[in-house]
Amino acid sequence: MRIITLTAAVAASLALFAGASSAQVTDPLVVDGQTIVTSAPAPDFLDIDEVLSGWNFRTAETRALQTDDFENPAMIFVDQALDDWDTAEGTANKACADCHSGPEEFAGLRAELPRWNDDQGALFNMEAYINFCRTERMGADSLKLAKPRMDAMVALLSLQSRGDIINVAIDGPVADIWERGRELYYTRVGQLDMACANCHEDNYGNMIRADHLSQGQINGFPAYRLKNAKLNSTHGRFKGCMNNIRATPFAVGGEEFTALELYVASRGNGLAVEGPSVRN
Amino acid sequence: MKNSMLLAVCASVATFATVQAGEVAPADVAFDDYGAVEMSLTGVAGDAENGANVFKNRKLGNCLACHANSDMASQLFHGEVGPVLDGVSDRWSAAELRGILSNSGNTFDGTIMPAFYVNDGYVRPLEKFEGKSILTAQQVEDVLAYLQTLSE
């Protein structure tokens, strides 16, 4: 595994810096002929050398599902979101399609999220943009966070940026929120008394019973998990992780998880958007 | 005879992870400067067989999540986060192991290993675990008895 990862890393960095083909990669992520970066030099603020997509930690069988959109179970939900895209709702009786040319209008957006929304004076993730549009422009109800309709729409919009390199800003108006996210990442919580960093920074690559610990990167979210056979949102996964260590989770969509999302997203700067990915 | 039967009944109705009469409460465990604990937490000899169950049970010790252990080769999936426990009793005394099981942070500063006999001071514990230790005092003694069977 280590060897595969290292080879992939070398090949990926060659591809990045020299524009070379990735013929050296033992097991690259290629979807529809597009090679997607799954490892990169770590951002300067990290003590680790390399950032690795969760892709690198999954079995060959799980990875295979992500290399073909007809095999990727997440695409069923993307199709559902496309139906939603055309469905008029709310007091304005408008669908997404009435104002937007198509989902592809949002190419590149996922790679920058969460980001500061100047008009609203707040940090916005994809869910926040979707619900802002619904409540303010469509006169419709918010979609419930970490629930199927929302996760599907996030998947549809994330897909438009697939392969784009994550480049989340951590300075300027978001600097304090990013710092708060970092603090949360290193704070031990719950009866098992663990921080994100204990597993995902200090022990990635190790097995924890049957699970191969990854870096906990979120570039692949929303992720279709074989474990629960549905799309999983970033905040939904944070919540699951906190429950696992017997900690009371923060609120989905709340200030803490949004700060943590910003920080964890920035730890993946240099990786590519994979959403919607397939994980175990 | 009657007394020992009464004791047995008491032990069998002992609820999970709450401190029983005659046990050392988590806050009262006496660690030495190196994190070892000389005195038994219960005064009752540990049961190695039950200790093995606690060791592998995912809802109890779940020690296999992080530690490989050849003695349990029949169990699937041994973790790699902590050291392999083969021959662990050759390397650590009973007092040292009791201390590591109870609160390993006293022996290994900053370790990822949870404290199995601490019931206070956690940040945001789930309500159902509030005020409780992961294991009972007797479960700690039982796991200790099991670890003492691991020698090479």
Decide if A202 and B62 are in contact by the 8 Å CB cutoff: no
A133 assigned to active site:
no
CATH classification of the domain holding A135: 1.10.760.10
The confidence score (pLDDT) of residue B19 equals 73
Decide if B112 and A207 are in contact by the 8 Å CB cutoff: no
The confidence score (pLDDT) of residue B22 equals 84
Inside any domain, residue A217: no
Alpha-carbon distance A28 to nearest alpha carbon in chain B (angstroms): 26
**Domain residue limits, chain B:** 27-147
Work out the pLDDT band at B3, boundaries 50, 70, 90. very low
The confidence score (pLDDT) of residue B59 equals 95
Inside any domain, residue A68: no
Alpha-carbon distance B105 to nearest alpha carbon in chain A (angstroms): 11
Work out the pLDDT band at B17, boundaries 50, 70, 90. low
Inside any domain, residue A90: yes
- Decide which of A26 and B113 is more confident: B113
Which of A190, A203, A208 is opposite residue B124, by nearest beta carbon? A190
B27-147 maps to CATH 2.40.40.20: no
Inside any domain, residue A143: yes
Q: Does A206 touch chain B (CB under 8 A)?
A: yes
- Alpha-carbon distance of B33 to A122, in angstroms, equals 49
Domain count, chain A: 1
Tokens describing residue A255: 């200030």
Residues of chain A with pLDDT under 70: 1-27
Q: Does A13 touch chain B (CB under 8 A)?
A: no
Assess whether pLDDT exceeds 80 at residue B48.
yes
Task: Count contacts between A and B (CB, < 8 Å).
Answer: 68
Inside any domain, residue A127: yes
The confidence score (pLDDT) of residue A27 equals 66
Domain extent for A98: 74-159
The confidence score (pLDDT) of residue B5 equals 46
The confidence score (pLDDT) of residue B20 equals 76
Inside any domain, residue A146: yes
**pLDDT tens sequence across B70-111:** 999 999 999 999 999 999 999 999 999 999 999 999 999 999
User: Looking at beta carbons, which residues of chain A come within 8 Å of B112?
Assistant: 194, 198-199, 202-203
Alpha-carbon distance A20 to nearest alpha carbon in chain B (angstroms): 36
- Alpha-carbon distance of A119 to A254, in angstroms, equals 20
Work out the pLDDT band at B16, boundaries 50, 70, 90. low
Inside any domain, residue A230: no
> Model-level pTM?
0.88
